[in-house]
Amino acid sequence: MTTHPNTPPAEENTPPKDESSASRGSSWLREHSELGVGLMLLILGVLVLTDALTMDVDITQRGPVGPKTVPIAVGIGLLAVAVLLSLDVLRGGRGEAEGGEDIDLSEPSDWRTVLLLAGVFLGNAVLIGPLGFPISGALLFWGSAYALGSRHLQRDPLIAACLSVVTYFIFNNLLGVPLPGGPLMGVI
């Protein structure tokens, strides 16, 4: 088989591949992924407005600014931002990555770390009632440090315990936010 000098190679003669509708839809969603943020803001705005408008307010309240004013303003702001963001994305706007981001999108997700952190937070939610915040918080801080890669087995639990006790003291005693003390209630 001989080729003539004026004949283009066979690859250039082939018609372009027709993209399937599923891949085009997936590509469109990937290019417009910021619409997910707009949808989340829209849902959050509707929830805030619904909660604010169904709020039970005492009839003896006086003045133009009541307990409904700020939630209604926040809900309207969320709806406005959701609409403006969605319009910008549909017109071709895209969010730009920060210059300091060092995320390599070609690398797979680190599901081990994500699952470890989820387990630590779930464990904290389960243990905070029976053990109290100082103990469950120490486990939360130490478990988070371990999940994120710290392997100092003598130092990390001590730092976590100190951080947990200081956090408990600040919230419980200085800010007046009661946290469960658990078995250490009388000690701290």
Distances from the Cα of 35 to the Cα of 40, 44, 79, 98, 136, angstroms: 9, 14, 13, 19, 38
Q: Check residues 98 and 159 and name the one with the higher pLDDT.
A: 159
- Residue 34 tokens read as 């910021």
pLDDT in tens, 96-143: 766 666 677 677 888 899 999 999 999 999 999 999 999 999 999 999
**CA dihedral (152, 158, 163, 164) positive or negative:** positive
Chain CA centroid to CA 61, Å: 37
Whole-model pTM: value is 0.52
130: Cβ–Cβ under 8 A, 6 or more apart, which residues?
182
What is the distance between the alpha carbons of residues 91 and 84, in angstroms, rounded to a whole number? 11
Q: Which alpha helices (DSSP H) does 32-154 contain, by range?
A: 34-53, 69-90, 111-131, 133-147
What is the distance between the alpha carbons of residues 165 and 176, in angstroms, rounded to a whole number? 15
pLDDT in tens, 71-87: 999 999 999 999 999 99
Asked whether 168 and 161 are in contact (CB, 8 A), the reply is: no
**CA dihedral (155, 156, 159, 164) positive or negative:** negative
pLDDT in tens, 47-63: 999 999 888 877 666 66
Asked whether 138 and 182 are in contact (CB, 8 A), the reply is: no
